[in-house]
Structure 1
């Protein structure tokens, strides 16, 4: 038994020795190296190297809740919301690589939001530029809106910037505001290609080619296209009305100087020439200064004389309406005031333009990308913002003048508590004679045309169409940041807008007056009411976390 046990143990030992020797001769497969995420300190906090590359990436974002309160003036026709809500999500990706030509950067920002309530919360402006889509339910229509925007997507390299970015024209751009209520240019998302040259001693210069789509206010059109198509029963006009925005122009005049033919001009602007922006900027420890200039083309389509030849005989068609070039200039100053408190800053800005209302920002509070708007539910009248008016007598585009001035001051009471005070003023003035020219076809009884009234009639003098207007607003906020990157704040904004001269029909107290006959009847029975201005106040609370 002992002999058998010894034999078995010896055999096992020998086998183990042979097996070990053979295993040592076989190749060993090594484990793949682990790619650890490394901190990239070249570009500041939060960057890390993308594994396997020399590109540094920073991932950041924002979550925001807002509640707003604004009392309406009426509850009819979709009005009557007192409250508004908004929840917003933002994701940022910032990728940078060092090259022989400097830093190569790509930046992407995506935003999504849910908005409800009164107009400045659900924002018709966002619908008009396809950043949002509205609810269609009976209780949600015009009150509930889902929002998505590629807010930023640009590449920067060797002084060049190309992609979707903030307009280089802008300076202050509502930096200290929650509601963005002041009148000033603030186009945070546009498509552009730009080059910035560093000139030394704090000076830089930028030339930018920018998408005109995000700087357009419509050429004024008096036509109710649906009504015109239905009443006239003209298939050519019906197609024209659905796909284009018609404005009437006279095709010619007889020996007595009377119009003998009428056609419709297509006033929808096409993307023809880009906007060109030039900027000179100066940066120093005390602050910054900037001068901006922009050129903006305004164009229309062609005359559709077959659509409606309502009166007389047609002596022939006019040539294509010549394009006009709007322009704007802006000056801004930013002053750091650390001697008051660390972080204190004052902005001063002014802008003037002709045919370039989006560059002066006069429609920033009321609503952009529309010819008439108001931020006040049940407003007694609307402001008109058209960059140009087509003169029906000479088929020429006549430019609208606008200007705005803004001041904004940020003060830190302590490192966790800050407040801002801001105010602005702006005016809109249409070309001399623009209203009178629109009155020239008033007596033609063309279905679907907005009735501006016979020149110098009482209705002409009292209606809101193409009236020169002003607006000013003031506001203030208080924001508490108990911990880093968390803001809890409240802001109130008051705005007053009105006509620069005369009075207008109060659409609330004298609704439905759209002609001289209706005005006469209202005056006769004592129900005619007029106003010179309107005002609105909104308070908004915000909770926001950046990461």
Structure 2
């Protein structure tokens, strides 16, 4: 028995030694190396290589929170067709100031991704920025009966593609800041008279030496439509209100720009087709439509001067624009009484358009002519750092608009008089730590306008308590964190 146990234990030991020896001869499989995230050294701060690729990526975003107060006064909407979304109760209605929200809150979240790859043709860039807004009170149109609010996926609860484009070998395709724009409300919270619109575009940019670049862009036409007004009664009434027809020719935009150590300068020009239709009207051969086309255009020049001799980060912006039949290139807010998110000013509402349709007296075909908008705007803004953590921005704008023959038709029939407006504001900005800013903005605006009237007659009187030359005051508090 003892002999059997000894043979069994000896055989097991020999087998274990043999297996161990064979295992020692097998190759050892090493763990796969970790592909660590690497910082891109050719794109600037914040970019890293996507593991396993030669593409650099930057993730960024912000949270912005605002509160605003506006001293709303009585507002009156004329009986002319408005032609754009202004949250009207009804044409010709008076809205008492007490029925308007005077305060409100606004929250915005942004997430952006910027991907760049080096190629034989230069950098291939793809950029997307998604934005979510929550607007309440004065930010949601002012509240035509007070208490304007928003709920999930309604009204001012907005989620949308703010920017999204591809750039390659000088080509830009997608949603970007319009190539016409320059200052584009760079500092101010409330809108001043200047062009500031994102648009869907196809563009090509030539980049030369010394900071010179030239761009030609084809931009979406509808983004710049500011509506068509119509004379709705009297001798020059249009049989059926005119409006923009379907988009046919996109806006054509050209830009020449210089970027230097001292700042930047830019010249811009744009063509905007005014293609209108009115109908149906009772023509000699039954129901039909009338139409009228015209050409609008705009030009703009601007300069930015850096002022390091005053303090690091200081700069001055000056810009001017002229338009004929293309109002939103003069002032992208849309009409003189309006702010970015509210009606802002009370009194008589000067609802601007690209043109006013004026009927041909006695026409049996619904024929009409177009009195185009003509106007200009100028603006200036200066930013000064008193300390690295505290700076102040002073800004102002002035604009005028007129509509030719339309001022010789009473406003109750759809005529529109001349307008001039100035806006001035100041910001106090504190940056306690990097990428966190607290800002307070105070803002004042005033309109002077004439009431359109028939030749040789006094203009129809405005309702009691409605100002022809309204003004308004606004204050905003903003907190913003960028990352």
Q: Which residue of 1 aligns with 2:413?
A: 452
Aligned partner (choices 537, 541, 546) of residue 473 of structure 2: 537
Describe the superposition over 1:385-423 as per-residue Cα deviations: whole angstroms up to 9, x where unpaired.
111111201522221101100000000111111110000
Separation in structure 2 between the aligned mates of residue 4 and residue 416 of structure 1, nearest angstrom: 91
Q: Which residue of 2 aligns with 1:327?
A: 297
Alignment of 1:143-292 (within 5 A): 145-179=156-190, 181-187=191-197, 189-221=198-230, 263-264=239-240, 266-292=242-268
Are the counterparts in 2 of residues 249 and 391 from structure 1 also a CA contact under 8 Å? no
Aligned partner (choices 470, 476, 483) of residue 433 of structure 2: 483
Separation in structure 2 between the aligned mates of residue 140 and residue 452 of structure 1, nearest angstrom: 34
Indicate the larger mover: 357-366 or 88-97: 357-366
Q: Does 1:122 align with 2:140?
A: yes
With over 3 angstroms needed to count, the CA separation of the structure-2 counterparts of 1:529 and 1:20, relative to structure 1, is: closer
With over 3 angstroms needed to count, the CA separation of the structure-2 counterparts of 1:80 and 1:528, relative to structure 1, is: closer
Aligned partner (choices 387, 392, 401) of residue 428 of structure 1: 401
Are the counterparts in 1 of residues 137 and 149 from structure 2 also a CA contact under 8 Å? no
Q: Does 1:471 align with 2:421?
A: yes
Q: Provide the secondary structure at the position in 1 that maps to 2:13.
A: helix
Q: Which residue of 1 aligns with 2:344?
A: 375
Normalized per residue, the structure richer in helix is 1
User: Deviation at 1:280?
Assistant: 0.9
Q: Does 1:104 align with 2:112?
A: no
Separation in structure 2 between the aligned mates of residue 139 and residue 349 of structure 1, nearest angstrom: 35
Are the counterparts in 2 of residues 217 and 368 from structure 1 also a CA contact under 8 Å? no
With over 3 angstroms needed to count, the CA separation of the structure-2 counterparts of 1:374 and 1:544, relative to structure 1, is: closer
Q: Provide the secondary structure at the position in 1 that maps to 2:185.
A: coil
User: Deviation at 1:369?
Assistant: 11
Separation in structure 1 between the aligned mates of residue 327 and residue 438 of structure 2, nearest angstrom: 34
Q: Provide the secondary structure at the position in 2 that maps to 1:36.
A: coil
Q: Which residue of 2 aligns with 1:392?
A: 359
Are the counterparts in 2 of residues 470 and 500 from structure 1 also a CA contact under 8 Å? no
Indicate the larger mover: 208-217 or 9-18: 9-18
Are the counterparts in 2 of residues 321 and 396 from structure 1 also a CA contact under 8 Å? no
Q: Which residue of 1 aligns with 2:363?
A: none
Q: Provide the secondary structure at the position in 2 that maps to 1:200.
A: coil
Describe the superposition over 1:219-248 as per-residue Cα deviations: whole angstroms up to 9, x where unpaired.
10356xxxxxxxxxxxxxxxxxxxxxxx99
When normalised by structure 2's length, the TM-score is 0.84
Q: Does 1:546 align with 2:482?
A: yes
With over 3 angstroms needed to count, the CA separation of the structure-2 counterparts of 1:390 and 1:61, relative to structure 1, is: same
Q: Which residue of 1 aligns with 2:38?
A: 38
When normalised by structure 1's length, the TM-score is 0.74
Are the counterparts in 1 of residues 100 and 145 from structure 2 also a CA contact under 8 Å? no
Separation in structure 1 between the aligned mates of residue 473 and residue 163 of structure 2, nearest angstrom: 32
With over 3 angstroms needed to count, the CA separation of the structure-2 counterparts of 1:95 and 1:169, relative to structure 1, is: same
Question: What is the root-mean-square deviation in Å for CA atoms of aligned residues?
Answer: 3.4
Indicate the larger mover: 314-323 or 58-67: 314-323
Are the counterparts in 2 of residues 502 and 532 from structure 1 also a CA contact under 8 Å? no
Q: Which residue of 1 aligns with 2:83?
A: none
Q: Which residue of 2 aligns with 1:459?
A: none
With over 3 angstroms needed to count, the CA separation of the structure-2 counterparts of 1:335 and 1:138, relative to structure 1, is: closer
Describe the superposition over 1:191-213 as per-residue Cα deviations: whole angstroms up to 9, x where unpaired.
00111111322221111110111
Separation in structure 2 between the aligned mates of residue 451 and residue 483 of structure 1, nearest angstrom: 55
Normalized per residue, the structure richer in strand is 2
Are the counterparts in 1 of residues 37 and 51 from structure 2 also a CA contact under 8 Å? yes
Describe the superposition over 1:153-201 as per-residue Cα deviations: whole angstroms up to 9, x where unpaired.
000111111100000100111111122x2111111x2100111111322
Q: Which residue of 2 aligns with 1:499?
A: 449
Separation in structure 2 between the aligned mates of residue 273 and residue 136 of structure 1, nearest angstrom: 40
Separation in structure 1 between the aligned mates of residue 412 and residue 451 of structure 2, nearest angstrom: 20
Q: Provide the secondary structure at the position in 2 that maps to 1:69.
A: strand
- Unaligned stretches of 5+ residues in structure 1: 125-133, 224-246, 251-258, 440-449, 454-464, 504-514
Alignment of 1:78-93 (within 5 A): 79-93=99-113
Are the counterparts in 1 of residues 279 and 288 from structure 2 also a CA contact under 8 Å? yes
Aligned length: 449
Q: Which residue of 1 aligns with 2:273?
A: 297
Q: Which residue of 2 aligns with 1:417?
A: 390
With over 3 angstroms needed to count, the CA separation of the structure-2 counterparts of 1:273 and 1:286, relative to structure 1, is: same
Are the counterparts in 2 of residues 495 and 535 from structure 1 also a CA contact under 8 Å? yes
Q: Which residue of 2 aligns with 1:241?
A: none
Q: Which residue of 1 aligns with 2:322?
A: 352
